[in-house]
Structure 1
Amino acid sequence: MAENGDVKLHIAMLPWLAFGHLIPFLELAKLMASKGHNISFISTPRNIDRLPKIPQTLTQFINFIKINLPEVENLPENAESTRDLPANKVPYLKIACDGLRKPMVDFLNNTSLDWIICDFATYWLGPIAAEHGVRTAYFSIYPALFLGFYGSPETAMHGDADRETLEEFIKLPKWVSFESEVRPSLFQLTRVRNNKLTVGVQNVKDSYRLGATIRACDAVIVRSILDFEPDWLNLLKELYQKPVIPVGLLPTTVNHDDNDNASWLETKQWLDMHEKGSVVYIAFGTETKPSQYELTQLALGLELSGLPFYWVLIDQRGSSDDEVLELPIRFEERTRGRGVVCKSWAPQFKIVSHDSVGGLLSHSGLSSVVEGLQLGKPLVLLPFLMDQGLIASYLVEKKMACMVHREDVDGSFTPESVADSLSLVMVKEDGKMYREKAKEMMSLFGNRDVQDKCLDELMHFLINSSHK
């Protein structure tokens, strides 16, 4: 089944403990397994148990390996992913993740591997793998533009003298030789910084983890394609001086196994009642929880828009999150029939695939962007964090999406700006360009041939480099 003759690789995968990372890693694992390669997919027991089921045909190729997180002071019990705890406690999860060194050494001592595909957080893994004669590849679930903004591995690790203040950091870096509007907003950087204040000096900065991971690895695999961001991918090759391989955008594939469950049938029934293209779907992924202020402005904006909506709302991140968000008083009563607020998991791809959904309001996480555009649904973006701001600014630059206006310094926005952006993209003649662009992007974001070609090139590289 494997290509390149009968060469079958054994590849271990160790994603960061966040579902926004676990799911793309699993998608890549399934693609490599479909070529006959053996995958050891490593995570904690609770995370593995919560992953989507893989197709029966791939079970012989993907082995899920459960390793326990060490106990860490201030990390709530059973918190094994970012979904399980508020943002200000995520640094403790990174400290726990650093405690996986020993189980990974034990795994390497007892397993014959060709490659380990790792994430940014486990910056210590590359040298350990090298000692065991195993090559490592960093798999970035972020596009090249995000990595490019951080510069070379050394710059990511130790900083840049020209970017010591937040105001300097929002400018286009000096190593970017082409014109670009890509930049984060000040409030996104402030938010990231504030989430780190609760932890002592023992925690290693994300930018250091990223740079050290890239410096130690043998190759960088990026969730991207050349047609999407050619300038940024070429920049990475210059910055890293090592192979940079775009693995494709990993468009979602439909799992038909759960089409008949009761909650989906109920959702489908509600969607069926609405006109084609009239419903806006709202979700901000598992990583992003709005503040109470942001939630209120957003809810009032949805109400003001008059559009039917399906909103997947995370109002609490794990039981240790004591800031439970509340919708405006009588909001659900006033929007009953027109809107649904879902506070549990929802089958996003199936909902967005429905004809009645005419657009997405999203945080601009790459998975949501890919799902929306592979289905030809226009995007309204409301980014909260730095990576989201960078992706959103690039999509706006390329006329692929519209961004809700927010004040740069404090991130404030009005209900009117939410309603206006939604009406523009979903309804108004002036926003027709966004609807047409989304249809045009289907052939890029959902193209299985492009995805297959990227995968073939990656496997060719991994096979030919594994025994040199």
Structure 2
Amino acid sequence: MPLITFVELPIPHVDGLQEGAEATVDLDIPNHDYLKIAFDLLRDPFRRFITVHSPDWIIHDMLNNWTAEIAQELGLPFVVFSVFSAGVLAFIGLGEPEGGPKKHWPNSPQALMSPPPWIQFPSKLALLPHEANSLYQALYLPNESGLSDIQRFGQAIRGCQAIAIRTCPEYERVYLDVLNKHPKPIIPVGLLPPEKREAAVEGEWVEIFRWLDEKAARSVVFVGFGSECKLSRNEIYEIAHGLELSNLNFIWALRKPKWASDDGSDALPPGFESRTTGRGVVNMGWAPQMEILAHHAIGGSLFHSGWGSLIETVQYGNALVVLPFINDQGFNARLAVEKGLAIEVERDEDGAFHRDAIARALKRAMVEEEGEHLRCRSREMMAIFSDQQLHHRYLSGFVDFLKTFKTK
């Protein structure tokens, strides 16, 4: 009998929502609001399901404000689970303030460009101007669904029995201390790192790994920006030119952009692949990321600093070069820099970045003495991030909380 049973609640049709879109990865950022509208229409189907099955607990994420309302209506205990780091939650103040709506909300994007007053220790947690403008609009202003995301967060948290966070004190102790001033129990459930595995590579990756085998230890940069970041032609071209200027070996897992031709021939600058033959590989299909990161030739990673990707990457003790784009990535990047794990690519005030900045950051991480300090610090953190027993203990503590609370 499976430990987990998945139940499908089909996404309703909403005008403006792309056919077949069921997650943010399917959409450009301006269209995310339509997904929230469709998601809100699942309230009644979810309520009917919960009424029939009457679970011991409901665990939901921070955008599910109506899940909390249903749990309270039915007298069921519920926990808010955050896929964001403790640092992010500490910065935004855990949603709607206790003193009433909007009492302590920032009144402009500029307020997000420095740590809030309740973080009373030196901290790099702050947003760059372009990030602050984007996050202020996304988080604090009402969207097409009729609510702002910060209102959703506040409603999701109100009435919950605890807030569970994907983190651990060994990495974010000072930010957990800030959160522990909240009246709700704060429970770190561990970093939940994926287990390292030995998997056979197939297809074209067999040849790519032979190429990797021939490279010196820690001489190759792994480049990947995931599926949520929809990079423009100029952004991809600047990254490519930066890799070329760095003269470093690299593997780039590049999801073919929507603006590219069917064969992907224009997804990279003209002549780029021929000019980097022998020291660079670009693959536009699925990439065995864990196996790549584990290879002895990989010495650094250039990526967006998404929380899940950061957790996965630090397990391998490489130098990190971070180039954040969306959501919480800027916070994660600053925290990684604060911890001595990463170098962040420099940007202009409007958020633009250039090939020279890419090349400069890569050389600092891979060639210069600074990179060895990064790898040394990363190896220290690797012992924490890859400690499955440590994170299982935190997860077991969360389970114990659920059992103990239920028997009260």
**TM superposition score normalised by structure 1:** 0.80
Shift of 1:193: 5.9
2:168 corresponds to = 225
Shift of 1:195: 7.2
Shift of 1:411: 1.3
Distance between the aligned counterparts of 2:357 and 2:121, measured in 1?
A: 31
Say whether the 8 Å CA contact 1:377–1:439 is kept in structure 2: yes
**Percent same amino acid among aligned pairs?**
37
Could you tell me which amino acid in structure 1 is paired with residue 149 of structure 2?
D
User: Which residue, 402, 420, 441 being the options, matches 2:360?
Assistant: 420
Shift of 1:260: 4.7
User: Which residue, 203, 211, 214 being the options, matches 1:273?
Assistant: 214
User: Which residue, 124, 148, 166 being the options, matches 1:205?
Assistant: 148
Deviations 1:2-49 (A, max 9, x none): xxxxxxxxxxxxxxxxxxxxxxxxxxxxxxxxxxxxxxxxxxxxxxxx
SS at match of 1:369: helix
Say whether the 8 Å CA contact 2:95–2:150 is kept in structure 1: no
Could you tell me which amino acid in structure 1 is paired with residue 304 of structure 2?
H
Say whether the 8 Å CA contact 2:110–2:132 is kept in structure 1: no
1:378 corresponds to = 319
1:455 corresponds to = 395
Say whether the 8 Å CA contact 2:86–2:175 is kept in structure 1: yes
1:247 corresponds to 2:189: yes
Say whether the 8 Å CA contact 2:314–2:378 is kept in structure 1: yes
Aligned length: 403
| Closer/same/farther in 2, CA of residues 92 and 159 from structure 1, 3 Å limit | same
User: Which residue, 59, 74, 87 being the options, matches 2:29?
Assistant: 87
Shift of 1:161: 5.2
The 5 A counterparts of 1:36-435 are 60-155=2-97, 158-160=101-103, 163-192=106-135, 201-238=144-181, 240-254=182-196, 259-316=200-257, 326-407=267-348, 409-435=349-375
Say whether the 8 Å CA contact 2:84–2:307 is kept in structure 1: yes
Distance between the aligned counterparts of 1:260 and 1:282, measured in 2?
A: 18
| Closer/same/farther in 2, CA of residues 460 and 366 from structure 1, 3 Å limit | same
Shift of 1:318: 11
Could you tell me which amino acid in structure 2 is paired with residue 82 of structure 1?
T
Deviations 1:141-176 (A, max 9, x none): 111110111114323994355721111221211122
Deviations 1:238-262 (A, max 9, x none): 1x31111001111111455x62532
Say whether the 8 Å CA contact 2:109–2:136 is kept in structure 1: no
SS at match of 2:206: helix
| Closer/same/farther in 2, CA of residues 113 and 194 from structure 1, 3 Å limit | closer
Distance between the aligned counterparts of 1:396 and 1:97, measured in 2?
A: 36
Say whether the 8 Å CA contact 2:323–2:344 is kept in structure 1: yes
Could you tell me which amino acid in structure 2 is paired with residue 180 of structure 1?
S
Shift of 1:391: 1.2
Distance between the aligned counterparts of 2:300 and 2:34, measured in 1?
A: 36
Shift of 1:349: 1.1
Distance between the aligned counterparts of 1:202 and 1:441, measured in 2?
A: 40
Distance between the aligned counterparts of 2:138 and 2:106, measured in 1?
A: 20
Distance between the aligned counterparts of 1:414 and 1:342, measured in 2?
A: 22
**Which segment is superposed worse, 135-144 or 384-393?**
384-393
Say whether the 8 Å CA contact 1:218–1:243 is kept in structure 2: yes
| Closer/same/farther in 2, CA of residues 102 and 325 from structure 1, 3 Å limit | farther
Unpaired segments ≥5 residues, structure 1:
1-58
| Closer/same/farther in 2, CA of residues 130 and 467 from structure 1, 3 Å limit | farther
Say whether the 8 Å CA contact 1:189–1:386 is kept in structure 2: no
SS at match of 2:2: coil
Runs of 4+ in 1 over 4 A off after TM superposition: 192-196
SS at match of 1:233: helix
Distance between the aligned counterparts of 1:403 and 1:430, measured in 2?
A: 13
Distance between the aligned counterparts of 1:418 and 1:313, measured in 2?
A: 16
Deviations 1:387-417 (A, max 9, x none): 111111111112121111112x211222121
1:442 corresponds to 2:382: yes
SS at match of 2:79: strand
Could you tell me which amino acid in structure 1 is paired with residue 97 of structure 2?
T
| Closer/same/farther in 2, CA of residues 77 and 369 from structure 1, 3 Å limit | same
SS at match of 1:71: coil
Distance between the aligned counterparts of 1:366 and 1:325, measured in 2?
A: 30
Could you tell me which amino acid in structure 1 is paired with residue 395 of structure 2?
L
**TM superposition score normalised by structure 2:** 0.92
Say whether the 8 Å CA contact 2:300–2:365 is kept in structure 1: yes
**Which segment is superposed worse, 142-151 or 413-422?**
413-422
Distance between the aligned counterparts of 1:206 and 1:81, measured in 2?
A: 16
Distance between the aligned counterparts of 1:295 and 1:328, measured in 2?
A: 9
Say whether the 8 Å CA contact 1:153–1:215 is kept in structure 2: no
Say whether the 8 Å CA contact 2:25–2:228 is kept in structure 1: yes
Distance between the aligned counterparts of 1:368 and 1:218, measured in 2?
A: 29
